Chains A and B, each alone.
Chain A
Amino acid sequence: MWVPKPGVWMLAASAVSCASLIPSTAFAEPVTQGAMLSITCNGCHGPDGKSVGAIPSIGGKAADYIEKALLDFRDDKRPSTVMQRHAKGYSDAEIKLMAEYFAAKK
Chain B
Amino acid sequence: MKKKMNMTRRKFIKAGGAVVSSVSLGSLFWPMTSVGLGGKPKPRVVVVGGGFGGVTCARFIKKFDANIDVTLIERDAQFITCPFSNLVLGGLRDINSITYGYDILKNKDGINVVHDEVTGIDAEKRQVKTKSGKAYDYDRAVVSPGIDFLWDRVEGYSEADVEITPHAWKAGKQTLLLKSQLDAMEDGGVFVMVAPPNPFRCPPGPYERAGMVAHYLKTHKPKSKILILDAKDNFSKQGLFTKGWEALYPGMIEWVAGTKGGIVTKVDAKNMTVYNEAGDPIKGAVINYIPHQAAGMIARSAGLADATGWCPVNQKTFESSLLKNIHVIGDSSLAGELPKSGYAATSEGKMCAAAVVTAINGMEMPNPSYTNTCYSLVGPDYGISVAGVYRIEDGKITAVKGAGGVSPADADESFRRAEALYASGWYSSITQELFG
Contacts and interface: CB of A to CB of B under 8 A. Distances in A.
Interface stretch (B5-13, B176-184, B253-261, B282-290): B5-13
30 contacts: A5-B2, A8-B29, A16-B31, A21-B17, A23-B26, A24-B19, A25-B22, A25-B26, A27-B31, A28-B63, A31-B366, A36-B351, A36-B366, A39-B350, A43-B373, A44-B373, A47-B429, A51-B428, A53-B427, A53-B428, A53-B429, A53-B432, A55-B422, A55-B426, A81-B407, A81-B415, A81-B418, A85-B404, A86-B371, A89-B389
Given A11-B10, A52-B432, A88-B403, A31 B363 contact: yes
B66 A28 contact: yes
B367 A43 contact: no
Given A12-B29, A27-B65, A31-B363, 12 more contacts: A20-B17, A24-B19, A28-B63, A31-B365, A44-B425, A53-B424, A81-B422, A82-B422, A85-B403, A88-B400, A88-B403, A88-B404
A3 B37 CA distance: 9
B60 interface: yes
Contacts of B433: 42-43, 46-47
Interface of A: 2-5, 8-9, 11-33, 35-37, 39-47, 51-55, 81-82, 85-90, 94
Contact of B429 (A5, A13, A46): A46
List 7 A-B pairs, minimum CB-CB distance, nearest first.
A89-B389, A53-B428, A54-B425, A89-B403, A12-B29, A55-B425, A26-B26
A8 B8 CA distance: 12
Interface string B167-190: 000000000000000000000000
Contacts, number: 199
A42 B369 CA distance: 13
Interface in B11-37: 12-13, 16-17, 19-23, 25-32, 37
B422 A54 contact: yes
A22 to B, nearest CB: 6
B200 interface: no
A11 to B, nearest CB: 6
Nearest to A25: B21
A87 B405 CA distance: 12
Interface in B82-129: none
Contacts of A41: 371
A36 B64 CA distance: 12
B364 interface: yes
Contact of B9 (A8, A19, A44, A47): A8
Give the one of B19, B27, B362 with max A CB within 10 A. Answer: B19
A40 to B, nearest CB: 4
Secondary structure of the A contact surface, majority rule: loop
A24 B26 contact: yes
B430 A14 contact: no
Contacts of B69: none
Interface in B381-436: 385, 387, 389, 400, 402-405, 407, 415, 418-419, 421-422, 424-430, 432-433, 436
B346 interface: yes
A94 B403 CA distance: 14
A26 B343 CA distance: 28
Contacts of A88: 389, 400, 402-404
Given A12-B32, A51-B429, A26 B367 contact: no
B130 interface: no
A3 B373 contact: no
Given A8-B6, A45-B429, A27 B12 contact: no
Interface stretch (B205-213, B299-307, B353-361): B353-361
A43 B430 contact: yes
A24 to B, nearest CB: 5
Contacts of A81: 385, 407, 415, 418-419, 422
A101 B9 CA distance: 24
Contacts of B30: 12, 15-16, 22-23, 27
Interface in B239-283: none
A16 B63 contact: no
B336 interface: no
B262 to A, nearest CB: 30
B20 A36 contact: no
A19 B28 CA distance: 17
B347 interface: yes
A66 to B, nearest CB: 16
A26 B23 contact: yes
Given A36-B366, A89-B400, A53 B425 contact: yes
